[in-house]
Structure 1
Amino acid sequence: MNGPEIHVEFAPELLLFVPRARPTGATKAATDGVSSLGHVVESLGVPLTEVGALLVDGREVPAAHVPQAGESVTVRAVAHPQRVPGAPLRFLLDVHLGTLARRLRLLGVDTAYESTDIGDPALAARSAAEQRVMLSRDRGLLRRRELWAGAFVYSTRPEEQLTYVLDRFQPELRPWSRCTACNGLLRKASKEDVADQLKGGTHRTYDVFAQCAECGRAYWKGAHHDQLVAIVERAVASRPAPH
């Protein structure tokens, strides 16, 4: 490594992004006296969305701090629960997180989802325009400056993804209030309101319905209802007790 160096130590949760720092959690990084500490951390592989406090020789500094040769830097992981200031908490998910999007909507969490790959610039722009937290496993996307806010989804398993998002952000849950297909709000509906969507057996068997105010999709307690109830109950049970 050429030029002046700083010593950088990462929290264990962040070593996924910095293979060169394994197994000790520490590595060296070059400093040019111009680049910010945030830039240096990202150049080592860690999106700033995953970074909590930054300490230089034991004192907390902003990401804009310009490190000097010989400094010792500690990079902590973002604290849970993470508070996102300024806007009601809502999310935007990329094309790879469809199951997570549907489960968040099932819980009544305002969740936008792009079912096609519209590209990182468009996703980042939507996050900023609608003030939504971008959830993704794409590290490059999470490094885009125009994001409103973002978070890396560590697991590839929907159950673990949901648990992680609920723990990290602790959104308000309003189960059964949103359309899992489009994120619209649900309202009570009569059998006559949704009759054109019901097959014969469903029409005869069920009498309680809801309908999306946006896309018109009908909902009732069908064959998979027990599975959905189990997801909701686990999520509600995982909430921290009120103080």
Structure 2
Amino acid sequence: MVEPDVCLRIDSELLLFLPTSRRHEWQRVASDGTSTLGHVVQSVGVPLPEVGSMTVDGVLTGPSYQPAAGDVVHVHAVPRPQRVPLEPGQLAPRFLLDVHLGTLARRLRLLGIDASYHNDMDDPSLVVEANAERRVLLTQDHGLLRRRALWFGAYVRGIRPDDQLGDLLERFAPPLRPWTRCTACNGELTPVDKGEIERRLEAGTRRSYDAYGRCPECGRIYWRGAHSEHLEEIVRSAVRAVGSPS
């Protein structure tokens, strides 16, 4: 029997990824001398996208390092706020949410954050889209985050949408532009003359409002003042968490 010979010290923020019976800061893992540190860390349950820096006996190293017997590895969680690599001309991170995060997607759009969502996309397709469009893949699926092909992913903490949104705002601190995106399809709203759309409006709406926006993707009409107090509070809370809208 091979004795465990690599010692991992897991940050407390990462223990949720370990099986309940093994949620301990210190983990001893058998090493075959050829597996990479990334493989060893993921073998205990921690997805690499959730890992920040790793140190071996105090020396910074990377996931391709091959740990040896006696190594003591400190596995740190990603720092917050976390920086997302942006494409030239891109001003803010873009996101792609898996099928279980539809409410979170609508809330991100409410805040003007580019959030793509499909309720019928399987895991391989999600990875392809995330990579092709350089979107951060948001999920609560540990296995999806461990896919080697994924360029950038993040685990969403929390069960309630309020908690999920708070977690994302703390982790990425994205710039906010409330009321500028279609919450249904993610299109960017453009101003539209009232005369162009008044036939589509209820009489009370026509009398009460003069400024309108339209989604060029799906055609939905929006107007300030139509928002419930619940939506207004979501925006106010987000602005308090991240700062003034850009």
- Which TM-score applies when normalising by structure 1? 0.92
Helix, strand or coil at the partner of 2:82: coil
How many angstroms apart in 1 are the aligned matches of 2:101 and 2:4? Answer: 41
Corresponding residue for residue 151 of structure 1 = 154
Structure 2 counterpart of 1:106: 110
Unpaired runs of 5+ residues, structure 1, are: none
Contact 2:17 2:142 (C-alpha < 8 Å) held by counterparts: no
| Cα displacement (A) at 1:20 | 4.5
Partner of 2:214 in structure 1?
211
Q: How does 1:40-189 map to 2 (within 5 A)?
A: 40-87=40-87, 88=90, 89-116=93-120, 118-189=121-192
Q: SS in structure 2 opposite 1:79?
A: coil
Shift of 1:224: 3.9
- The letter for the 2-side match of 1:101 is A
Provide closer, same or farther for how the CA distance between residues 240 and 108 of structure 1 changes in structure 2, counting only shifts above 3 A: closer
Matched ranges for 1:21-36 at <5 A: 21-22=22-23, 24-36=24-36
Deviation at 1:202, TM superposition (A): 3.2
TM-score (norm 2): 0.91
For structure 2, the 5+ residue unaligned runs are: none
| Deviations, residues 210-235 of structure 1 (Å, cap 9, x unaligned) | 11122111012455432222111111
Q: Residue 187 of structure 2 contacts residue 217 of structure 2 at CA under 8 Å; is this kept in 1? A: yes
CA distance in 2, matches of 1:2, 1:163: 44
Tell me which residue corresponds to 1:236.
Answer: 239
Kindly provide the CA deviation profile for residues 184-237 of structure 1, in whole angstroms up to 9, marking residues without a partner as x: 111112333233542344344433321112211101245543222211111111
Secondary structure at the aligned position of 2:242 is classed as: coil
Aligned residues: 239
For 2:62 and 2:32, the matched residues in 1 are separated by 18
CA distance in 1, matches of 2:85, 2:190: 30
CA contact (8 A) 1:52 1:75 kept: yes
